[in-house]
Amino acid sequence: MSSAGYCNSSGIITRASRPNLCAITASFSSASAGGSKRPSVESFLLRADENPLILAIDNGSSSVRAGLFDATGREACEIVKIKRAFQTGSNGESELDPLAAIAQTGNAIDRLFASDKAAFVQNVSICAFWHSLCGMDSNSEPTTPILGWADTRAREYSTLLKQSFNEKEIHERTGAHFHSSFWPAKLLWIREQRPDIWKRTTHWVSFSDLCQLRLFGDARTSVSMASATGMFDQATLAWDTELLDFIGLDQNQMPEIAGSGSTIHPSLEALTRWPQLSNADILPAIGDGAADTLGAGCSRLGEAVLMVGTSASMRMMYEGEPPRNLPEGLWSYRLDERRVVVGGALSDGGNLISMLRRKFGVKGNITQELRSRTHDRSLRVEPYYFGERSTGYREDAKGEIIGLDARHDGIDVIHSAMHAIADRLADIAERLERTAPIESIQASGGTLREYPVWREIIEEKLGRRIMPSNTRESSLKGTVLRAAERLGNIEV
């Protein structure tokens, strides 16, 4: 067990020695560079000691962001952002076209190198959204769309899993409840409802694995990505054989898990497209939540990050073993073999506010209007429009507006929704406190910056200060810090 954290007899994680996290204040300022025609691979092989850069990629659910950074974490050129959107439907589907999403990622890299053709990249560091599932056939062609965490069509199979297993034991082992957002229920749904796809599929992977294979020639997954599937034994760092047997899968149908020292070397096809990567080591993608926690500067016990973006979450990362007696409603994943991420996630966050704005025709900056409203307790929003994850993990949870009458307008409804989500985040915080005392809370996510009054509402619910974030790209920053750590430039 690591010396940096241990569980005492009550299961509370206690701080031991504090690792030395060197402060890197990434400016994330805009810069651009030009160049002439694309240089050859050979020219890059001669420049192994000249101004090495980090290529960081945040492969998110709503956009892909990519940037070049120097060894101190400063931007070397303007960050590229390409938006994307999952396709949703009335049956609970939430899908992304895998080939289109991969093409977007490649295009983001193309645009970066178009502005800096002479860039010399030493390390490629990637994060991607957790929980995605995609099938591949024997020719490595996708057999399914990318199924996101919000796809709830497998909900009846989470009920089957609860009837077939002791869920508390599985939760302790995998760090995940039985729910349609995780792999076990989705795989059973495909096996039973899409038998033709099940038969054609030889491998099951995360989007990040498929993207790495297509762009760089290697589909090995990281401990971080595997840890959030609901199929991964958090203690043994291996796929859970009992769940595999129940679903009817072999180990060789799952992604190969790369160790923390493993890197991917770009394929010849990748080097032809991007000779700037000729000397680069590519780190298998980590989960965006882990990257966001690292980028927010929360890497020790007691340092929590509260994120409100499309969804919402509260998490804490530390070096050590997974918590014993993981509180019901929370999850436990990993950044890598030595660092654990514990927390809770809500399906409703900024996406609910955007939906309410559309439905009620609310436009423009509404900060002052929100500040002028008092909390009307006769109006209540049940914030389950995108399903429920933490803390109840109910598959049948539905969003609802209760008590709406002629006195209320869209601002009132949005204000009530913010209070409702704040209540749910307070529930996560209380459970997280059972794991380890929270000493500080760092804000993250663009939605909290857009609605500063929401942070104040959450502070009131928690009864404590939340430090505002000055970092607009914390997930991207986290991927940079990870690469800088690998290069020996920092200690995390």
| Chain centre to alpha carbon of residue 51 | 30
Does 268 lie in the same domain as 342?
no
- Per the listing, tokens 């010399």 go with 120
Number of neighbouring beta carbons within 10 Å of residue 105: 23
Is 81 found in the same domain as 45? yes
Residues near 173 by Cβ (< 8 Å), separated by ≥ 6?
Answer: 233, 234, 235, 240
pLDDT value of position 12: 44
pLDDT at 408 > cutoff 70: yes
pLDDT exceeds 80 at position 410? yes
pLDDT digits (tens, 9 = 90+) for 198-216: 999 999 999 999 999 999 9
The confidence score (pLDDT) of residue 45 equals 40
Residue 298 has what pLDDT? 94
Same domain, 256 and 302: no
Q: Is the pLDDT of residue 249 over 90?
A: yes
Residues 279 and 366 in one domain: no
Answer whether residue 463 is part of any domain.
yes
What percentage of residues in the chain have a pLDDT greater than 70?
90
Distance CA 183, CA 342 (A): 19
Among the residue ranges 19-33, 86-100, 325-339, the one predicted with the least confidence is: 19-33
For the cut 60, the answer to whether the pLDDT of residue 426 exceeds it is yes
Which of these, 458, 460, 434, 459, lies nearest to 10 by C-alpha position? 434
Sign of CA dihedral 170, 173, 177, 181: negative
Q: How far apart are CA 182 and CA 461, in angstroms?
A: 30
Whole-number Å distance between alpha carbons of 168 and 177: 8
Smallest CA-to-CA distance from 386 within 60, 61, 162 is with 61
Is 492 a member of any domain? no
What pLDDT score does 72 carry?
Answer: 80
Instruction: Transcribe 120-168 into DSSP letters.
Output: -EEEEEEEE-TT-BEEE-TTS-BSSPEEPTT--TTHHHHHHHHHHS-HH
Rounded CA-CA distance 286/282 in Å is 12
Instruction: Output the six-digit token pair for 365.
Output: 């900056």
Closest by Cα among 204, 194, 437 to 303: 437
Q: In this structure, is residue 22 part of a structural domain? A: no
**373 and 464, same domain (yes or no):** yes
Residues 397 and 259 grouped into a single domain: no
Do 93 and 218 lie in a common domain? yes
pLDDT in tens, 433-444: 999 999 999 999
Report the pLDDT averaged over residues 397-405. Answer: 97
pLDDT in tens, 135-179: 999 999 999 999 999 999 999 999 999 999 999 999 999 999 999
Mean local confidence (pLDDT), 310-316 = 97
As a whole number of angstroms, the distance between CA 163 and CA 358 comes to 40
Residue bearing tokens 């436009």: 363
pLDDT at 8 exceeding the cut of 70: no
pLDDT tens-digit readout, 35-44: 334 444 343 3
Distance CA 230, CA 240 (A): 9
Q: Is residue 323 part of a domain?
A: yes
Residue with the larger pLDDT of the pair 30 and 355: 355
262 and 149 inside one domain: yes
Close Cβ partners of 195 (under 8 Å, ≥ 6 residues apart): none
Q: CA distances (Å), 151 to each of 121, 145, 156, 211, 398, in order? A: 37, 11, 12, 20, 14
302 and 226 together in one domain: no
Asked if residue 161 is part of any domain, the answer here is yes
Residues 51 and 110 in one domain: yes
Q: Categorize the per-residue pLDDT at 50 as very low, low, confident or very high, splitting at 50, 70 and 90.
A: low
What's the whole-number mean pLDDT along residues 168-195? 98
In a domain, 18, yes or no: no
Amino acid code (one letter) for 213: L
Mean pLDDT, range 323-343, rounded to an integer: 96
**pLDDT for residue 343 is more than 90:** yes
Q: Identify whether residues 380 and 275 lie together within a single domain.
A: no
Tokens coding 19: 């690792």
- Can you tell me the mean pLDDT for 18-24? 36
Count of domains forming the chain: 2
CATH of the domain at 437: 3.30.420.40
Question: Within 10 Å of residue 195's Cβ, how many Cβ atoms?
Answer: 10
Do 219 and 359 belong to one domain?
A: no
Give the pLDDT mean for 15-24.
Answer: 36
pLDDT the model gives residue 483: 93
CA–CA dist 288, 224 (Å, integer): 9
The model's pLDDT over 51-84, given as tens digits with 9 standing for 90+, comes to 789 999 999 999 999 999 998 888 988 999 999 9
Which residue range is the domain that position 446 belongs to?
298-470
Q: Is residue 222 part of a domain?
A: yes
Q: Which amino acid is at 333?
A: Y
What would the mean pLDDT of 417-443 be, rounded to a whole number? 97
* Beta strand residue intervals within 288-390, DSSP E: 303-308, 312-319, 331-334, 339-346, 380-382
Report d(CA 326, CA 337) in Å as an integer: 18
- Residue 22 pLDDT: 36
Tokens of 298: 């929360």
The pLDDT, as a whole number, for residue 387 is 93
Q: Is residue 267 part of a domain?
A: yes
Residue 285 has pLDDT above 60, yes or no: yes
